[in-house]
């Protein structure tokens, strides 16, 4: 971290502005007791800030709040640590203004979030007190989700606090914790998507008029929550009508008891392929593999690609030669060098020659390869190219015969 020596003016500006904003944040009715001490502390603190000692600047500022979700998730960070110009003061002054602006928006957003959270919590608490809800048998995924989010937000606040007070957070364990939490959140996202439908259905049954039917639905047939395409066709009115859902399940439950057990098809899956399709797909894949192995194609690829090229002989790279791997492993393990026998030398020579055999030797090879490729994966289809060639040949024959006839005459 580069340590800057700020002039007293800019230092005061920064610290004053920062402390002012911090006090403003804490001026909510709930936390008014705590404001007394910081306010008292801030006034002498400004005088106390030593001018001679260098202030370590934050290498990251709190991000532009437009990028923040309302539940406090951080998405981008900006860097500031490379200010080493001689015009430090002017630059810091500019950035200080930016900082003030950002902090303003931050406080307003935090107030918004606080209001929302408070109303939400109020609602939940009321409901909980009325009905004595037991949260143990809920969907554990959702519980994990909100716990993780909460801890993430708390750690963000801690991080911000450290940055605002100028403490370094270099090797703090909080960074690791934050990273793991973030990873967990990311992993929860696809799972969330998968169970979204089920959760919405559950909520619907929970808020239904006749709860007994809902319970019955849950107990007997978990497959009743499978995706229902008729909802798409008939429109949103019928989809919201809970009676429709119940009727469908009643018939289903009857059939379910009679018939064999079939696992509930809740998650969308691809239909299984029949033999013909499978065969066709495998054939295509094999042809593509063969074409890729062809040295002419590889040469073309290398020409056109911008990736760093690997020195190869006939498709096998020299550096990571698979034939040498076993020998090298043995040598390293047993600490002795093996002799390259005559047999090995002959084999290596043969391999090299075989590799170079496939390369283009004549125009006939090129013709053969291109026709093979065309048959393998033409954009139109399978044998259309063959038909075209035949037609072309026929045309040529006709022309030649005509010419010959003409020559004969003329």
Question: Which residues contact another protein by CB under 8 A?
Answer: 318-319, 331-332, 335-337
CB of 328 to another protein, least distance (A): 9
Of the pair 20, 323, the CB lying nearest another protein is at 323
Of the pair 9, 340, the CB lying nearest another protein is at 340
**Tokens describing residue 147:** 């716990």
Of the pair 332, 380, the CB lying nearest another protein is at 332
Of the pair 275, 336, the CB lying nearest another protein is at 336
Distance, in Å, from the CA atom of 136 to the CA atom of 120, rounded to the nearest integer, reads 20
CB of 332 to another protein, least distance (A): 6
Q: Are 217 and 290 in contact (CB under 8 A)?
A: no
Long-range contacts of 146-153 (CB under 8 A, 24+ apart): 148/181, 148/184, 148/185, 148/188, 149/71, 149/72, 149/73, 149/185, 151/177, 151/181, 152/72, 152/73, 152/178, 152/181, 152/182, 152/185, 153/71, 153/72, 153/73
Distance, in Å, from the CA atom of 95 to the CA atom of 87, rounded to the nearest integer, reads 13
Of the pair 336, 342, the CB lying nearest another protein is at 336
**Which is nearest to 20 in space by CA: 81, 111, 109, 99?**
99
**Tokens describing residue 139:** 């969907």
Report the sign of the C-alpha dihedral through residues 22, 24, 25, 28, in that order. Answer: positive
Of the pair 146, 330, the CB lying nearest another protein is at 330
Distance, in Å, from the CA atom of 378 to the CA atom of 384, rounded to the nearest integer, reads 9
Tell me the pairing of strands 60-61 and 312-313: unpaired
CB of 352 to another protein, least distance (A): 15
CB of 337 to another protein, least distance (A): 5
Of the pair 145, 327, the CB lying nearest another protein is at 327
Of the pair 301, 352, the CB lying nearest another protein is at 352
CB of 331 to another protein, least distance (A): 8
Quickly list DSSP for 305-332: --SPPPPEETTEESTT-HHHHHHHHHHH
CB of 334 to another protein, least distance (A): 10
CB of 351 to another protein, least distance (A): 17
CB of 344 to another protein, least distance (A): 15
Bridge partners (DSSP) of residue 4 are 55
Q: Are 58 and 95 in contact (CB under 8 A)?
A: no
Tell me the pairing of strands 60-61 and 78-79: antiparallel
Reduced 3-state DSSP string for 30-50: HHHHHHHHHHHHHHHHHHHCC
Of the pair 119, 310, the CB lying nearest another protein is at 310
CB of 318 to another protein, least distance (A): 7
């Amino acid at each position: 971290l580069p340590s800057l020596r700020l002039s007293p003016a800019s230092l005061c500006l920064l610290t004053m502005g920062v402390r002012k904003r911090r006090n403003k944040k804490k001026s909510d009715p709930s936390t008014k007791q705590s404001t007394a001490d910081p306010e008292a502390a801030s006034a002498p603190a400004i005088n106390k800030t030593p001018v001679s000692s260098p202030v370590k600047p934050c290498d990251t500022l709190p991000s532009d709040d437009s990028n923040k979700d309302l539940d406090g998730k951080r998405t981008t960070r900006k860097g500031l640590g490379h200010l080493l110009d001689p015009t430090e003061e002017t630059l810091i002054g500019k950035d200080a203004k930016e900082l003030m602006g950002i902090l303003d928006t931050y406080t307003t957003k935090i107030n918004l979030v606080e209001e929302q959270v408070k109303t939400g919590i109020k609602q939940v608490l009321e409901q909980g007190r009325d009905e004595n809800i037991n949260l143990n048998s809920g969907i554990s995924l959702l519980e994990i989700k909100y716990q993780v989010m909460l801890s993430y937000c708390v750690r963000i606040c801690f991080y911000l606090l450290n940055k605002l007070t100028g403490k370094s957070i270099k090797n703090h364990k909080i960074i690791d914790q934050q990273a793991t939490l973030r990873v967990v959140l990311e992993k929860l996202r696809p799972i969330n998507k998968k169970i979204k439908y089920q959760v919405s259905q559950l909520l619907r049954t929970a808020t239904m008029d006749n709860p007994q039917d809902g319970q019955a639905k849950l107990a007997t047939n978990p497959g009743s929550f499978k995706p229902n395409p008729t909802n798409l066709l008939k429109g949103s009115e019928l989809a919201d009508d809970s009676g429709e859902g119940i009727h469908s399940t009643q018939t289903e439950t009857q059939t379910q008891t009679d018939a064999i057990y079939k696992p509930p098809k809740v998650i969308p899956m691809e239909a299984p392929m029949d033999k013909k399709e499978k065969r066709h797909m495998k054939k295509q894949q094999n042809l593509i593999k063969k074409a890729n192995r062809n040295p002419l194609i590889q040469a073309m690829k290398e020409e056109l690609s911008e990736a760093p090229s690997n020195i190869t002989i006939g498709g096998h790279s020299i550096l990571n030669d698979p034939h040498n791997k076993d020998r090298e492993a043995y040598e390293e393990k047993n600490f002795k060098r093996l002799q390259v026998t005559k047999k090995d030398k002959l084999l290596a020579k043969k391999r090299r020659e075989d590799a170079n055999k496939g390369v283009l030797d004549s125009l006939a090879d090129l013709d053969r390869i291109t026709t093979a490729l065309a048959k393998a994966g033409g954009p139109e289809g399978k044998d259309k190219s063959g038909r075209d060639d035949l037609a072309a040949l026929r045309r040529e024959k006709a022309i030649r015969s005509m010419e010959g006839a003409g020559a004969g005459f003329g």
